[in-house]
């Protein structure tokens, strides 16, 4: 009996359910990819500062693509949609026309704040229903899982099989 395999399959099923979560049922301002793209712009332009305003601060498309871990083509597609709706503005570097920077507009920042609040409120309701004890246990297990995954990735990068088998 390989209980780890069964649990792994259950975890994969849970992960698939989370990925299928209809983000538009939580809020209807930004699509999931738009929300994550704008979030990346907010973080890269203003950091995690709650006082610094990200509006008008530009970030290169290359940094957005790298930060989201998606292809430049996917970022371009998302930015096309966001720009058409006035959420971002693209600016081409006059000295190097290959570099395109993206700036969040005031309208875009307001849209992101609305979507972010809706998502946080939703997750707060979910976590409240789970209860504090289970939430603490979940966080503890998630932290341990992240550590184990990191160790396994390090071993894989070194070309070794797991030493824990």
> Tokens 């503890």 — which residue?
140
- Compare 164 and 91 and report the one with higher pLDDT: 91
CATH of 23-130, one of 2.40.37.10, 3.40.50.10490, 1.10.10.10, 3.20.20.20: 1.10.10.10
Q: Write down the mean pLDDT value for the chain.
A: 83
Cβ neighbours of residue 69 closer than 8 Å, sequence gap 6 or more: none
Give the global pTM.
0.69
Q: Is 83 a residue whose pLDDT tops 60?
A: yes
Tell me which of 14 and 163 has the higher pLDDT.
14
Lowest mean pLDDT among 13-17, 60-64, 106-110, 122-126: 13-17
pLDDT(1) > 50? no
Residues with Cβ within 8 Å of 88's Cβ and at least 6 positions away in sequence, in order, are: 38, 41, 79, 82, 102, 103, 104, 105, 108
């Amino acid at each position: 009996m390989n209980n780890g395999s069964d649990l792994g399959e259950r975890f994969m099923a849970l992960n698939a359910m989370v990925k299928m979560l209809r983000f538009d049922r939580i809020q209807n301002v930004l699509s999931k990819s738009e929300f994550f793209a704008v979030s990346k712009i907010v973080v890269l332009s203003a950091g995690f500062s709650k006082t610094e305003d990200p509006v008008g601060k530009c970030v290169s498309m290359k940094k957005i693509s790298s930060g989201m871990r998606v292809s430049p083509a996917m970022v371009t597609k998302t930015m096309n949609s966001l720009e058409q709706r006035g959420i971002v503005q693209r600016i081409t570097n006059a000295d190097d026309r290959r570099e395109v920077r993206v700036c969040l507009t005031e309208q875009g920042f307001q849209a992101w704040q609305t979507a972010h609040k809706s998502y946080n409120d939703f997750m707060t309701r979910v976590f409240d229903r789970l209860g504090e004890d289970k939430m603490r246990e979940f966080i503890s297990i998630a932290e341990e899982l992240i550590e184990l995954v990191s160790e396994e990735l390090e071993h894989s990068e070194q070309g070794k099989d797991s030493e824990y088998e």
